[in-house]
């Protein structure tokens, strides 16, 4: 199926919709998930028009993982957890992305679970906390 340039993450990349940014470089952007599974749940997305994660070119795929590494460490510092887990789903938003989620057990990566109810203020506080451990 053709890439939909009006999906939510494409609009975030174009600056048409705000996000709680964690970090950014030439190829990749990361920001808070608006309906998180856990506090400090972060999305990492490539700056290229690709729907499925494993259709990404080698450059975007490898850069995205290297970009995600310090963010995962910041999540582990920012929120008490056993480690930072990651997941690729993409059934809701058709722009490639990686979920970074603090986990203590496998069920913490169960995306059929009810999401947390967070206020914009809580999202911002978590964003600032992650960023403070990143730099």
Catalytic positions: 97
Under 8 Å between Cβ of 17 and 11: yes
| Closest listed residue to residue 41, CA positions, set 111, 116, 80, 99 | 99
Q: Would you say 73 or 113 has its CB closer to ligand 5GP?
A: 113
Among 13, 28, 31, 40, binds ligand 5GP (CB under 6 A): 31
Instruction: Report the candidate in 28, 54, 55, 32 with the shortest Cα–Cα distance to residue 43.
Output: 32
Which residue bears the tokens 């496998």?
Answer: 106
Print the binding letters for residues 74-93 with ligand 5GP: x by CB under 6 A, - otherwise. ---------------xxxxx
Q: Give me the 45-64 binding string for ligand 5GP, x by CB under 6 A, dash otherwise.
A: --------------------
Stretch that binds ligand 5GP, among 30-38, 46-54, 56-64, 70-78 (CB under 6 A): 30-38
Pairing of strands 42-46, 98-103: antiparallel
Q: Taking CA 123 as the corner, what is the angle to CA 22 and CA 116, rounded to the nearest 5 degrees?
A: 120
Residues 100-129 contacting ligand 5GP, CB under 6 A: none
Q: Which residues bind ligand 5GP (CB under 6 A)?
A: 8, 17, 19, 31-35, 43, 89-93
């Amino acid at each position: 199926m053709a890439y939909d340039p009006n999906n939510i993450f494409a609009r975030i990349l174009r600056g048409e919709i705000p996000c709680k940014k964690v970090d950014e470089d030439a190829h990749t952007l990361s920001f808070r998930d608006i309906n998180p599974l856990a506090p400090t749940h972060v999305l990492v997305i490539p700056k290229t028009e690709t729907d499925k994660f494993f259709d990404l070119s080698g450059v975007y795929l490898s850069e995205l993982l290297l970009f995600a590494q310090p963010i995962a460490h910041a999540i582990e510092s920012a929120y008490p957890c056993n480690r930072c887990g990651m997941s690729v789903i993409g059934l809701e938003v058709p722009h490639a992305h990686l979920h970074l989620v603090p986990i203590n057990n496998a069920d913490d990566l169960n995306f059929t679970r009810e999401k947390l109810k967070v206020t914009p203020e809580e999202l911002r506080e978590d964003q600032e906390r992650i960023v403070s451990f990143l730099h």
